[in-house]
Amino acid sequence: MIDNPQVLGESVLVITAEFDRWADTDGVPARDRLDVLGLDATGRLVVVELKRGTADRDVHLQAITYAALVSRFDLDTLAQAHRDFLTGRGQAVALDVCRQRLLDHVDGDWSPELLQRSRQVIIAAGFPKQVTHTVVWLSEMNLDIDLVQVGLWKVEGHLVVGFTKVYPTPEVEMFTLAPARVEAKVAAQKLEERSRARNAAHVLVGASLLPDGTRLRLTPRHGAPQSIREAILAWVSEDDSRATAAWNNSTAKPLTWDADGRTYSPTGLANHIFRNVTDRTPDGIQGTTWWDVDTEHVPETVDPGEWAALAGASLADLAKQLSGVRKDWTSLHTLLSAIPSGRWTTYGDVASVIDSHAVPVGIHLATCGQCPNAWRVLTAAGRVSAGFQWTDPTRTDKPTDVLTAEGVRFDGGAAVPEARLPMEALQRLLSS
């Protein structure tokens, strides 16, 4: 768990392990030992209970007990625990450094309310029905508990460990647990806003939609009433660098603000701007709604026509469009290898067939170096993309010349539509 904290969820920092330095009200140390304590980027603690075999019938009670014990921890307590943990692993780190590391890991302001609402993760080889039934009910009562099943195999002399989240499944989270969280108190509302913002960043990075350096422009929206939006726009007009940022494909802090050159999360930067203008603490801003793609600046690896289609879309809007898109390009390579000589297709059609988006497909084709038949993918207008590059950098011939030799006719620099593969034909090529 310590070496692979991604098993516990996205962006989890391990604070300590095998922690037993609590004391009761009489000052007598408790004997309970917490297996792993983490901190996720939304600002919640992650309490982890590990069982080597099938979980005990009351394992969820242990997890809840630990959650109650850590609910009173503050930043200084956690920083000291993290320092002791690192010291035990041979890393000499100052207490102030540990404290700042915790602050930097949280996407937004440090919130004691969120810190009290820990997420519990129970990992075991199996779970009795008493545990699963109780955990389902507790989750419906707005207590977050994940059940993760672990399996261990020996493959060719090597040990292989696999983890499967058995509860809650995505469907359960969406249709059963989400409504309860919407009705929760202020802390749960903050958590939802931060989670949505972080999920949007993960979706965009996972789909490779935006190349590093993509220009973004500020349009204040969610979490700011109209009067404050107008005040922010007036403040921005005094210095245009306040309204622009550059994207980098980091799930933690993907925005570099032009005004100060520092990196922020979308919500972190929106909060920073809100405070500068109002001298107040924002509450519940979803920062991914504040930043739009500046389509006037077209990256070299992107087809200008496809890039223009992103105009007016915020990061949150784009994430909704791209839900489910990932970086696995196996299906793309399979499809490209099947496109026959003398035919051509478009970035948009290819993206539709493989459930992706035209922009990341274009970026991948321009940077992959191994994509077969890449010259047979053109813009929607039938032209070679400005970002096209040969997989062999020594090639100097033009894609249009190769396509012409294969039998594709060009009229005014655009491939004739008669040679374009219909969508149905592309789908058959992928499934065959």
Give percent above pLDDT 90 in the chain. Answer: 48
User: Mind listing the pLDDT tens digit for each residue in 37-75?
Assistant: 999 988 999 999 999 899 988 898 888 989 988 988 999
Spatial separation of the C-alpha atoms in residues 36 and 49, rounded to whole Å? 7
Flag the least confident range among 6-20, 104-118, 146-160, 205-219.
104-118
Instruction: Give the separation between CA 231 and CA 293, rounded to whole angstroms.
Output: 22
The owner of tokens 């956690």 is: 78
| pLDDT at residue 290, rounded to an integer | 95
Q: In what order do the strands lie in the sheet with 263-264?
A: 263-264, 255-257, 244-247, 215-218, 291-293
**Cα R_g (the chain), whole angstroms:** 26
* Distance from C-alpha of 160 to C-alpha of 334, rounded to nearest angstrom: 29
pLDDT value at position 400?
94
State which H helix or E strand residue 346 sits in: strand 345-346
- The pLDDT value recorded for residue 179 is 52
Report the alpha-carbon angle 168-169-175, nearest 5: 90
pLDDT for residue 36: 96
Continuous segment of H or E residues that includes residue 160: strand 158-167
Question: Is residue 198 scored above 60 in pLDDT?
Answer: no
Phi, psi angles (nearest 5°) of residue 31? -95, -5
Span 298-323, pLDDT tens digits: 887 777 878 888 888 899 888 877 75
**pLDDT-based confidence at 81, cuts 50/70/90?**
very high
Give phi and psi for 242, each to the nearest 5: -70, -20
Of the pLDDT bands very low, low, confident and very high (cuts 50, 70, 90), residue 364 is: confident
**pLDDT attached to residue 171:** 59
List, for residues 267-285, the tens digit of each pLDDT value: 899 999 999 999 988 877 8
Residue 82 has pLDDT above 80, yes or no: yes
> Does 25 have pLDDT greater than 50?
no
Strands 34-40 and 45-50: antiparallel
Q: If residue 146 lies in a helix (H) or strand (E), which one and from where to where?
A: strand 145-155
Q: Among candidates 248, 254, 251, 250, which has minimal Cα distance to 269? A: 254
Q: Quote the DSSP letter at residue 246.
A: E
Distance of CA 316 to the CA centre of its chain: 12
